[in-house]
Amino acid sequence: MTKLLDYWGQRPAWLKFDAVTNNWLIIFSGTTIRIGINFLAGIIITRTLGPTDFGIYSVLLAATSLIGVAVDFGLTEAAIKTIAVAWQDNR
């Protein structure tokens, strides 16, 4: 058990990155996985629905995406900036 804790408690030398690189790798891998899942889901949905139903699905998906952009309206970026500034001030 101690060996397992030692392994998980410290990173191997080849995995030691600075904070920016580590965070970039996490975001990049998450985005890559999300794109892959969306691609596979698109194939499954396309094959499952017929042409008419897929057209309706596409219109609803586009409308939902546009509404999501309008609702967000830059709030995500503003929240990230505010949190980063507050975090920097607390250091």
Q: Examine the domain organization and report whether 42 and 61 are in the same domain.
A: no
Q: Examine the domain organization and report whether 62 and 38 are in the same domain.
A: no
Q: What is the pTM of this model?
A: 0.57
pLDDT of 2 reads 46
Assigned domain for 87 exists: yes
pLDDT of 5 reads 43
User: What is the rounded distance in angstroms from the CA atom of residue 21 to the CA atom of residue 83?
Assistant: 20
Rg of the chain on CA atoms, in Å: 21
Which residue range(s) make up the domain with 81?
Answer: 51-91
User: What is the rounded distance in angstroms from the CA atom of residue 46 to the CA atom of residue 57?
Assistant: 10
Name the domain count of the chain: 2
Q: Examine the domain organization and report whether 43 and 56 are in the same domain.
A: no
Q: Examine the domain organization and report whether 25 and 41 are in the same domain.
A: yes
Assigned domain for 7 exists: no
User: What is the rounded distance in angstroms from the CA atom of residue 44 to the CA atom of residue 15?
Assistant: 36
Q: Tell me if 57 sits within 8 A of 49, measured CB to CB.
A: yes
For the cut 70, the answer to whether the pLDDT of residue 9 exceeds it is no
Assigned domain for 39 exists: yes
